[in-house]
Amino acid sequence: MIEAGIRHILINDDTVKAITERCYPVTIPQAPTYPLILYTKISGDRDHHLRGPSGHAHPRFQIEAWAETYTAAKSLADAIREALDGYSGTVLGTKIGSCLIDSERDTYESEIEVYRVISDWFIWHIE
C-alpha cells in the first residue's frame, strides 16, 4: 500500500525523525502534540493501455507539516521535501518510480493557533 510506504519513508528519514515521528493519515488526533505530519490521498489516477489497467499509478497526495511556529512548520516542510522529492525505490513491497512535488502553500489555523505548510505530490508507483 502506497500510503504505508510514504509514511515509512518520512518517519525513517533522519532529518524528519529529528523533528517529529508523528505522522498521521487523513486526520490528526484530538489535542495533538506538534510538530506533526498529516498525509491524505486526494486523487487516485491510474494508467491504462488497450488491454486495461497497466498496474502503474500516480495518485496525488497532500502532505502537511503542522507546528506551533511558522519557522518550525517551514523546517518540517523542508525536511519532508528533502526526504521525498525525487525519491525512487522499493518500500514495504511497493516499487516507487518517483515522488514529485507539485505545489506548496503556507497557512495559519487561527482557531487552534498553529501553522501548516501544505504540499501536493504525485507519487508514481506500481500497484
Query: Is residue 115 in a domain?
Result: no
Sign, Cα dihedral of 100, 103, 106, 110: negative
pLDDT by 10s per residue, the chain, length 127: 899 999 999 999 999 999 999 999 999 999 999 999 999 999 876 766 667 666 678 899 999 999 999 999 999 999 999 999 999 999 999 999 999 999 999 999 999 999 999 999 999 998 8
Q: Which domain covers residue 73, as residue numbers?
A: 2-47+55-101
Sign, Cα dihedral of 91, 7, 70, 59: positive
**Dist CA 15 CA 13 (whole Å):** 6
Nearest to 13 by CA among 94, 97, 83: 83
pTM, two decimal places: 0.91
Query: Is residue 117 in a domain?
Result: no
Query: Is residue 84 in a domain?
Result: yes
Q: How many domains does the chain have?
A: 1
Query: Is residue 114 in a domain?
Result: no
pLDDT digits (tens, 9 = 90+) for 118-127: 999 999 998 8
